[in-house]
Structure 1
Amino acid sequence: MRNRATTQSILPALGILLAGCVAGGVPYAGPHLTSTECRDLAALKTNAPPTMAQHQSELAALRKAGYDPSPWSDDPYYPDDLQAAQRLVDYWFQTECPHVQPG
């Protein structure tokens, strides 16, 4: 029984590690963000009231970065998984959207 308990406690950590390898370890040939996502993410960084379309663009970008906001599961890694996806989207924004950076 002790080995089973040890294995079960290690599995979530391995899942996070593998997810990080898949998300960040495989080079992608093109841009991750669309021009619409770049524009909407730039608008969200200002103090202007956000629109529903801007929030939807942000959510689409977070999903591309590996975040799954499914309401049907209790995510034991929240908010760490959301924050990791936000960091990745911020990196993509900085590297792929220089022409729409907020002033």
Structure 2
Amino acid sequence: MAKLVTISLLALVSLLLGCAISGTPPKGKHLSPTECRDLAALRSNPHPTFGEHQSELAALRKAGYNPSPWFDDPYYPDDLQAAQRLVEYWFQTECS
């Protein structure tokens, strides 16, 4: 389990560094229209719905974040923050 988390984290870090170094974003759409709508609602709604939170979690998982079911993730909060930055980048570039 820890090995899988390490590999996933390394893949995410490589992706983020690759984008930062090359200056070219990853190709293709990453966020669905529903995720775009719900992420926008999370930013403006003081009382988000359960569905909006679920969309945010789905987007974070697409970005490589895997919440540990055992609450012992040695990379927390760094892995969550890296996924949040990637989702924010996708939101800024893909959601109008």
Deviation at 1:96, TM superposition (A): 0.1
1:45 aligns with one of 43, 46, 51: 43
CA RMSD of aligned residues (A): 2.4
Q: How many residues align?
A: 85
What TM-score does the superposition give when structure 2 sets the normalisation length?
Answer: 0.75
Q: 1:20 aligns with which of 13, 27, 32?
A: 13
SS in 1 for 2:40: helix
| Deviating 4+ runs (over 6 angstroms) | none
Unaligned runs of 5+ in 1: 1-13, 99-103
* Aligned match of 1:89: 87
Distance 1:73 1:64 in 2: 20
Higher CA-based Rg: 1
2:22 corresponding residue in structure 1: none
What is the distance in 2 between the residues matched to 1:75 and 1:38?
28
Q: Which runs of 5+ in 2 are unaligned?
A: 1-5, 20-24
